[in-house]
């Protein structure tokens, strides 16, 4: 895979000078395991913004074509269980969206990065009129042919390319999407333009403060290496950023939105002995150091 490397002059979310960011360490172009110095390959420097806590690579590697990262069969990207329809899928998020927008049946929703269409199916079942955008031909094909998403409801496009004319939405969701985008700030700005008055945007992203990253990075330092486990810009799942609540607060001051609700989910606890996992989970829940950060945004008054 061929990359071009782009120097980032400013933090994507708060516009602080990138040169003032704190260097965390190096990340290889492949899965590192617990012995990264025994692996061949090349890496990039991983930094954290001193102002808002956004984690990013410097420089940022970008493939010649985004299809190099994502134009793969869905069954190779997700496990078999992901293709099963769970009636409770996205239930918590839908209930929160309905509360925040004073839901009425037929309200419109937009799923950005719709993948194989599971979220769209759940939103339609919950009474929304749902549309989606998905840049991967393979994922969109799966959404239409396996999840029975209507072809005219899911556009083959990125959020940057999508054109909805004058259509506006009551609820917009970025589910595990923003961390894959090279310019997440611009994606949020465009989605705000698509949002109806009183509508909300829900965003799920990896947290910069995840305890397991801190734990693993401490292990690497104890072994005498400068590697870190944060993000994965050159291998699956191709995460380019990790975020904090302050990342969105600072971007909201610039762009014109506010956080109306947020929470952390612990999610899975990889690479830890089973007897320690209950203690780690308890600590992460209390300290808000889980893997996933969810924020709900609304245009500022």
2-51 per-position pLDDT tens digit: 899 999 999 999 999 999 999 999 999 999 988 998 999 999 999 999 99
| Residue 267 in this model has a pLDDT that exceeds 80 | yes
pLDDT at 181: 95
207-221 per-position pLDDT tens digit: 999 999 999 999 999
Domain residue spans of the chain = 3-67+209-222, 70-207+243-299
Task: Report the alpha-carbon distance of residue 146 to residue 114 in Å, rounded.
Answer: 14
Task: Report the alpha-carbon distance of residue 212 to residue 220 in Å, rounded.
Answer: 12
How much is the pTM?
Answer: 0.93
- For residue 237, whether the previous peptide bond is cis, meaning omega lies within 30 degrees of 0, is yes
Task: Report the alpha-carbon distance of residue 6 to residue 204 in Å, rounded.
Answer: 26
Stretch among 67-71, 113-117, 161-165, 251-255 having the lowest mean pLDDT: 67-71
CATH architecture of residue range(s) 70-207+243-299:
3-Layer(aba) Sandwich (3.40)
| Residue 80 in this model has a pLDDT that exceeds 70 | no
């Amino acid at each position: 895979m061929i990359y071009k490397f782009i120097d980032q002059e400013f933090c994507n979310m708060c516009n602080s000078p990138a040169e003032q960011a704190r260097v965390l360490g190096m990340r290889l172009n492949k899965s590192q395991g617990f012995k990264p110095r025994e692996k061949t390959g090349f890496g990039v420097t991983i930094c954290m913004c001193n102002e808002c806590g956004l984690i990013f690579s410097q420089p940022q590697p970008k493939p010649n074509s985004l299809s190099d990262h994502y134009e793969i069969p869905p069954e190779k990207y997700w496990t078999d269980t992901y293709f099963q329809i769970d009636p409770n899928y996205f239930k918590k998020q839908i209930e929160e969206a309905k509360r925040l927008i004073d839901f009425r049946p037929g309200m419109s929703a937009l799923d950005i990065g719709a993948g194989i269409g599971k979220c769209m199916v759940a939103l339609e079942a919950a009474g929304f009129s749902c549309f989606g955008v998905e840049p991967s031909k393979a994922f969109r094909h799966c959404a239409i042919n396996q999840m029975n998403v209507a072809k005219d409801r899911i556009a083959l496009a990125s959020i940057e390319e999508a054109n909805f004319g004058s259509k506006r939405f009551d609820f917009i969701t970025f589910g595990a999407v923003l961390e894959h985008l090279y310019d997440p700030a611009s994606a949020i700005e465009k989605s705000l333009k698509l949002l109806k008055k009183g509508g909300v945007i829900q965003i799920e992203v990896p947290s910069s403060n995840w305890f397991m990253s801190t734990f693993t990075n401490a292990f690497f330092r104890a072994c005498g290496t400068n590697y870190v486990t944060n993000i994965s810009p050159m291998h699956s799942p191709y995460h380019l950023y990790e975020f904090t609540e302050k990342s969105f607060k600072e971007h909201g001051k610039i762009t014109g939105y506010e956080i109306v609700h947020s929470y952390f989910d612990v999610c899975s606890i990889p690479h830890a002995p089973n007897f320690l996992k209950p203690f780690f989970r308890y600590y992460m829940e209390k300290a808000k150091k889980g893997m996933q950060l969810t924020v709900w945004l609304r245009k500022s008054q």
